[in-house]
Amino acid sequence: MTRKIKSAKLVSEFVAAFRCPLCKSSMRVVDFKSLICSKNHTFDFTKQGYVNLMPHPANSHYKKELFEARHKIIKESNLYTFVHEAIATSIKEYMDVSFKPLMVADVGCGEGSHLQRILDECKVSAMTGVGLDISKEGIAMAAKRYENLIWLVGDLAKSPLEDQSFHVILNILSPANYKEFKRILVEDGLVIKVVPRSNYLKELREALFDNNEKKVYKNDHIVSLFKKHLHLLDVFHLCYTKNLNNVELKNLVQMTPLAWSADKERMDAFIHRDSVEITVDLDILVGVKTAPMIGGSE
**pLDDT for the residue 262:** 74
**pLDDT for the residue 98:** 86
Other Cβ atoms closer than 10 A to 9: 12
**pLDDT for the residue 215:** 53
**What's the pLDDT tens digit per position in 52-84?**
999 887 776 678 899 999 999 999 999 999 999
**pLDDT for the residue 293:** 61
**pLDDT for the residue 294:** 54
In a domain, 298, yes or no: no
Q: What is the mean pLDDT of the chain?
A: 91
In a domain, 259, yes or no: yes
On the 0-12 / 13-18 / 19+ scale of CB atoms within 10 A, 22 is middle
Percent of the chain with pLDDT over 90: 79
In a domain, 293, yes or no: no
Please list, in sequence order, all residues whose beta carbon lies within 8 angstroms of the beta carbon of residue 56, skipping any fewer than 6 positions away.
none
Give dist(CA 122, CA 120) in Å, integer.
6
In a domain, 180, yes or no: yes
Give dist(CA 152, CA 130) in Å, integer.
8
Of 57, 155, 58, 49, the C-alpha closest to 108 is 155
The arithmetic mean of pLDDT across residues 195-223, rounded, is 82
Please list, in sequence order, all residues whose beta carbon lies within 8 angstroms of the beta carbon of residue 290, skipping any fewer than 6 positions away.
187, 231
Residue 243 is part of a domain; what is its CATH number? 3.40.50.150
Q: How confident is the model at residue 256 (pLDDT cuts 50, 70, 90)?
A: confident
Number of domains in the chain: 1
In a domain, 170, yes or no: yes
Give dist(CA 151, CA 139) in Å, integer.
6
Under a CB-based contact definition with an 8 Å cutoff, are residues 54 and 132 in contact? no
Under a CB-based contact definition with an 8 Å cutoff, are residues 204 and 256 in contact? yes
In a domain, 69, yes or no: yes
**What's the pLDDT tens digit per position in 139-194?**
999 999 999 999 999 999 989 999 999 999 999 999 999 999 999 999 999 999 99
Q: How confident is the model at residue 216 (pLDDT cuts 50, 70, 90)?
A: low
- Which one-letter amino acid corresponds to residue 71? H
In a domain, 297, yes or no: no
* Structural domain that includes position 177: 3-288
Whether 258 has a pLDDT exceeding 70, the answer reads yes
Backbone angles phi, psi at 243, to 5 degrees: -80, 120
Provide the pairing of β-strand 275-288 with 231-245.
antiparallel
Whether 298 has a pLDDT exceeding 60, the answer reads no
Strand partners, 286: 192, 234
Please list, in sequence order, all residues whose beta carbon lies within 8 angstroms of the beta carbon of residue 181, skipping any fewer than 6 positions away.
107, 169, 171, 191, 229, 230
**pLDDT for the residue 296:** 41
In a domain, 296, yes or no: no
